[in-house]
Amino acid sequence: MIKKARHANLALTTAIALSMSVGSVLAHGVVDQSNLTTGGAQLILVHQPIGQEFTPAVSTLVGVDIVFRGSSTPGSDTVTVNIRHRDISSPILATTSRFVDQCPFVPPYNCIEHFDFPSPVTVIPGDTYVIEVQVTMPIHAWQGGPGDYPGGAKIIQGVRRPELPDYGFQTYHSTDNELEICLEDLGVCESDLAECTTSSTVCRDDLAQAGEDAAVCVSDLEEGRSGLQEILRLLNLPPGQRWSNYACTGELCEETTAAINRLLGPAGQGSRRGERERGGRR
Ligand SMILES: [Ca+2]
């Protein structure tokens, strides 16, 4: 889980330029919530408003998969996917549409179709959101096989049906935004360290929190959300360079420094260290 450092009582300058967009890690993002099903289905057209609730674990949503059931009705139709907060009648937060061909009426009788949203949607982890699917013809059926997705219920004709198996779906989040948050944490942490004096208790608390957040953040990256190259680029560190400008004291900060240096890999020649320190932070 990504944590974002909050330091309202400190005047901060972010040491690292963070406004650039970070390169895409995966074309479709990374799966957050998943309920892939193989059982029965409901024809979407006759069950609208039809939807599936989900509970994101992370703060971004960039796309969804919808699992359609094999249909004996040939053709294709425009499928619209809307995201709403808490209730299927609430305002649309994001929408996307595209043609989807009939899911073939042959084994395994299901098709996973991906829908990307035009831009990342910011969501609140732990809150309930609704994926609504709209069609215009009786071609597509939404797979709602056996099994319970614990983070929400299906919605049929506008009514929550928690007693029924959930519809098949997956949600995707962006590692890009999370990486930016992570880098921001690291930058805030370093700014705090630069600006604080040891006489301030508030400051020391903030430093501890910032160090903890940054450690969590680095640990997330180590778990596979690759952002190492971006970190190296933003820190202007070549591979093999140490994190040498981290004027940090205390156990948490030491852990964070160690975590960053683990990310940076084995120590290199360090030829740019002096140059970097003379130049100061950007
Ligand atoms: Ca459920």
Tens of pLDDT, residues 97-144? 999 999 999 888 889 999 999 988 989 989 999 999 999 999 999 999
d(CA 175, CA 15): 22
- pLDDT tens digits, 212-252: 655 665 555 555 444 455 555 555 555 455 554 444 455 55
Q: Examine the fold and report which residue of 123, 142, 173 is the final residue of a domain before the chain moves on.
A: 173
User: What is the Å distance from ligand 1's center to 1 Cα?
Assistant: 23
Is residue 45 a part of any domain in this protein? Answer: yes
- pTM for the model: 0.59
User: What is the Å distance from ligand 1's center to 149 Cα?
Assistant: 4
Residues 79 and 164 in one domain: yes
User: What is the Å distance from ligand 1's center to 267 Cα?
Assistant: 49
Is residue 25 a part of any domain in this protein? Answer: yes
Residues with Cβ within 8 Å of 224's Cβ and at least 6 positions away in sequence, in order, are: none
- The domain of 257 spans 238-282
User: Which tokens hold the place of 213?
Assistant: 């957040």
Helix (H, G, I), strand (E, B) or coil at 186: helix
User: What is the Å distance from ligand 1's center to 167 Cα?
Assistant: 9
Query: What are the CA-CA distances from residue 112 to residues 24, 69, 100, 101 (Å)?
Result: 22, 9, 11, 11
